[in-house]
Amino acid sequence: MAAGGRGRRGPAGARRWRWAAGWILLIAAAMALGKAGWSPFRLLPWSGRGDGLPARAAPDVWVGPVAVGGWPRQQVESWLAGLARQVAMPPEDARLDPANRAVIPGAAGLALDVPASLEAILRARRGSRVDLAFRALPPRQDLDDFPAEPVYHGNRRKQAVTFLVNVAWGEEYLPAMLDALAQGGARVTFFPVGRWAESHPDLVAAMVRGGHELGNHGYSDALDLEGAPAETVLADLRRGAEAVARAAGVDPVSIRFYSTHRGVRTAAVEQAAAAAGVRLIYWSLDTVDWMKPAPEVMARRIVTQAQPGDLILMHPTAVTVQALPAMIQGLQRRGLAIVPLGQLLSPLPAGEADPAFRPLVPPGPVLAGRLDPPPFGPNPAGPGRAEEGFLSVPPAPSLR
């Protein structure tokens, strides 16, 4: 009996051991496959990969001009990987500008955020248009690495310009100028003279309310900067910053940029700016509005000659006020945003709402052009063309 009992239990025990060993092997295999990123649930058409994402895009989903609706997840991943290689843009370091003895600001690089873009596409509802997600890559060197160098223009990669408005007179034209800027959606940098700001605090406050930036144009435009020693320039610079700050109700430290009268540049001026910890600002394009050209002539010249990153000098004059609407519209039609100086010189975008960092919106010409034909899905705008309203920078108009 004892022997018979042991015999009957032996096969059952062996079966239990084989059953346990099989489960152990199965669990080990599943763990190994899991580490490799594979799941048996991927075989199910309604299942994702354990990350909660759908296995395919909903119908009628678009990324710019590319129809991704209905694509399986693997197809979306493959397309995004190819697009990431095409749109990758390395950062550009700030560097010295030998021609002007100045510094050229750096610019952030661009990388497609594939995981975030994939999630946006797969979670999009039927009939949606999806924006791709991008990451800005900061440069290794920026303006802070060149604290004493002046600036004549921004980085040419940045699709924006800045209006530098020097103000020592022309207060009768400023309300109309502020209205024109507001109507055109342009924000600029005003450089009021300190003693002018003391006499017109209401206009300085209006500049701030309009979302504009304030710079420093010194306290007195009567000071002869050509022969002034550094101590005199520094005293005038600091007094000007304090006067503008009082009129605006801001801290003088927030006024970071200094523009000299008539663009004077001497060793004393450079020493004073460095001692005050402010950036010397010059310009790359001049409206010469003080010469009173015809408004249409001035607007045409600025719109056709402006380059990305330009610093455009102007003053509050009757001609400037008349030319501003055409100037603003013409530059914007070329894809050049008009932004404050601090925003233009920053290598990084202020956020997705920053129009100066255009790559943060889906790169239409890349989608419609470089991926022509797209690897998956049709382009409704036709071969090599971007949809209306998608990012593009047309050539400068002739304004005839």
Asked whether 130 and 121 are in contact (CB, 8 A), the reply is yes
SS3 33: helix
Mean pLDDT value of segment 45-58 = 76
Identify whether residues 124 and 169 lie together within a single domain. Answer: no
Number of domains comprising the chain:
2
219, part of any domain: yes
Asked whether 126 and 59 are in contact (CB, 8 A), the reply is yes
End-to-end CA distance of the chain: 114
Mean pLDDT value of segment 174-195 = 98
pLDDT at residue 354 tops 60: no
Identify whether residues 240 and 274 lie together within a single domain. Answer: yes
Question: What domain range is 216 assigned to?
Answer: 147-345
Q: What is the pLDDT of residue 110?
A: 86
94, part of any domain: yes
Boundary of a domain, candidates 345, 369, 385: 345
Identify whether residues 260 and 335 lie together within a single domain. Answer: yes
Mean pLDDT value of segment 174-193 = 98
Identify whether residues 116 and 70 lie together within a single domain. Answer: yes
Identify whether residues 173 and 274 lie together within a single domain. Answer: yes
Ordered DSSP codes for 281-341: B--SEE--GGG---HHHHHHHHHHH--TT-EEEE-S-HHHHHHHHHHHHHHHHTT-EE--H
Mean pLDDT value of segment 84-95 = 93
**Reported confidence tier of residue 51, pLDDT bands at 50, 70, 90:** confident
Q: What is the pLDDT of residue 366?
A: 44
Question: pTM, whole model, 2 decimals?
Answer: 0.74
Tally: H helices and E strands in the chain: 12, 14
| Window from 121-135, 205-219, 321-335, 371-385 with minimum mean pLDDT | 371-385
Identify whether residues 137 and 258 lie together within a single domain. Answer: no
Q: How far from chain centre, in Å, is Cα 87? A: 15
More confident residue, 100 or 9: 100
Mean pLDDT of the chain: 83
Q: How confident is the model over 213-270, as pLDDT tens digits?
A: 999 999 999 999 999 999 999 999 999 999 999 999 999 999 999 999 999 999 999 9
Q: What is the dihedral of CA 391, 396, 397, 400, to 10 degrees?
A: 170
pLDDT at residue 209 tops 70: yes
Q: Look up tokens 């895009």; give the residue.
A: 57
Q: What is the pLDDT of residue 396?
A: 32
Element housing 173 (H / E): none
Mean pLDDT value of segment 52-67 = 94
Q: And the tokens for 204?
A: 């300085």
Q: What is the pLDDT of residue 33?
A: 55
Q: How confident is the model over 255-303, as pLDDT tens digits?
A: 999 999 999 999 999 999 999 999 999 999 999 999 999 999 999 999 9
Identify whether residues 315 and 266 lie together within a single domain. Answer: yes
Mean pLDDT value of segment 306-315 = 98
Identify whether residues 90 and 238 lie together within a single domain. Answer: no
Q: What is the pLDDT of residue 26?
A: 64
Q: What is the pLDDT of residue 386?
A: 30
Q: How confident is the model over 9-31, as pLDDT tens digits?
A: 566 666 666 766 666 666 666 66
CATH of the domain at 336: 3.20.20.370
Q: What is the pLDDT of residue 1?
A: 45
